[in-house]
Structure 1
Amino acid sequence: MKREKGLLIVLSGPSGVGKGTVCGALREKDTQIKYSVSATTRKPREGEVDGINYFFKSHEEFERMIAEGDMLEHAKYVSNYYGTPRKYVEEELEKGHDVILEIEVQGALQVKESFPEGVFIFLMPPSLNELRSRIEGRGTETDDLIDSRMTVAKEEIDMMDKYDYVVENDKVELAVSRIQSIVTAENCRKDRLIHQYKQLMED
């Protein structure tokens, strides 16, 4: 039975926890999940491609999108904007496709206000020391910026109780398997399906 509306899956967690890596691996294993590309004003890292990893925007472009209501959510994080263009997400959900957002914690909480029926997953590092090592391993941030990211990370971890699920990213393949299990279970929830089955019985 084709679902009336897709499932919105929101994956977030502190910077450096591996959201992009986990999301990429999940997309390779489950090609049915649609991935919403976020927009950002930060500079591309080595190997990142505009329109695939992010839509890279200037501050002026991003602020214009906010003013015109084109963003589903947005947040300013360590002096850069991050956000989700609205149109693609809403169109895919209406087609019955599951959509995953890989976004910052501030943005996830904004989405929860407008899509409380979504599934909110917090990606957790094995430890704060491991998180710092991963950020340092990028080789793209100064010590001051790393310290800022760690301060924000601790604040974000404190917001974990606002999420439906917590997944530890100890190993990417295990994190992906856990997320797949969550998505499968959520798609079988009675309250997501009962209207369709009642309609089927009436027909």
Structure 2
Amino acid sequence: MTGTLYIVSAASGAGKTSLLRGLMARDDQVVISVSHTTRTPRPSEVDGRDYHFVDETAFLHLITSGAFLEHAHVFDRRYGTTYAAVEADLAAGRDVLVEIDWQGARQIRAQLEDTVSVFILPPSRAALEQRLRARAQDSDAVIHDRMQAAVSEMSHCGEYDYLVWNDDFETALADLEAIVRARRLRRARQMQQHAPVLSDLTG
């Protein structure tokens, strides 16, 4: 049995990472793929857990060797998801979450048809800016740039299968859980997972 690949996108500050970690805490069959990036780790980030932090040369080598399922250039930094980061978990029947922007989402959808895409949105533009400022990590100029990039990112939400508004965290988390549970109840997966029972019931 194979799992489902979930493409999850959001503007910076929309709460995507917290929601996905909350989903994993409630569901042990959900894992997050660890992407590669050329950006510098933030103080709380750990190599191999949050990202695989590599230099430009190493990233370009992965591109030329065909290792990436998708990759993108964002804010003068590179991000990418390798095939290896998702294949083993999917084959084992686990559902894999891939945190990427709309560019990477397009690349994956062009290669893999059986994916589910989710875009997480903030309740308002003002709330998003407030969340970015609450991090106390960036200057006003950087926050201005991030807000402009956020508006551009959110303009692509219409390309996704599901939209989740992160106004109330618990409600948004429940919405994500509902998407995953509904996908698992699709006929093909249920018939595969419960084949012996179905054979007995219908034979």
Q: TM-score, normalised by structure 2?
A: 0.89
Residue 122 of structure 1, aligned match among 119, 122, 133 = 119
Where in structure 2 are the equivalents of 1:11-50 lying within 5 Å? 11-50=8-47
Identical-pair percentage: 38
CA displacement 1:101-152 (0-9 Å, x = unmatched): 1222221221111122111000001111111121222222232322222122
Match in the other structure for 1:135: 132
CA displacement 1:26-60 (0-9 Å, x = unmatched): 11111211221111111111211111111111122
Counterpart residue identity of residue 43, structure 2: E
Gap regions ≥5 residues in structure 2: none
Aligned-pair CA distance for 1:16: 1.5
Aligned-pair CA distance for 1:18: 1.5
The number of aligned residues is: 200
Aligned-pair CA distance for 1:172: 2.4
Q: 1: CA distance between counterparts of 2:52 and 2:79? A: 10
Task: Say if 2:166 and 2:172, in contact at 8 Å, map to a contact too.
Answer: yes
Task: Say if 1:41 and 1:56, in contact at 8 Å, map to a contact too.
Answer: yes
Match in the other structure for 1:150: 147
Task: Say if 1:25 and 1:172, in contact at 8 Å, map to a contact too.
Answer: no
Secondary structure at the aligned position of 1:52 is classed as coil
CA displacement 1:143-174 (0-9 Å, x = unmatched): 23222221221122111111000001113222
Query: Is 1:91 aligned to residue 64 of structure 2?
Result: no
Structure 1 window deviating more from structure 2 (71-80 vs 100-109): it is 100-109
Match in the other structure for 1:108: 105
Residue 166 of structure 1, aligned match among 155, 163, 167 = 163
Q: 1: CA distance between counterparts of 2:45 and 2:195? A: 47
Gap regions ≥5 residues in structure 1: none
Secondary structure at the aligned position of 1:82 is classed as strand
Secondary structure at the aligned position of 2:158 is classed as helix
Task: Say if 2:37 and 2:77, in contact at 8 Å, map to a contact too.
Answer: yes
Task: Say if 1:23 and 1:102, in contact at 8 Å, map to a contact too.
Answer: no
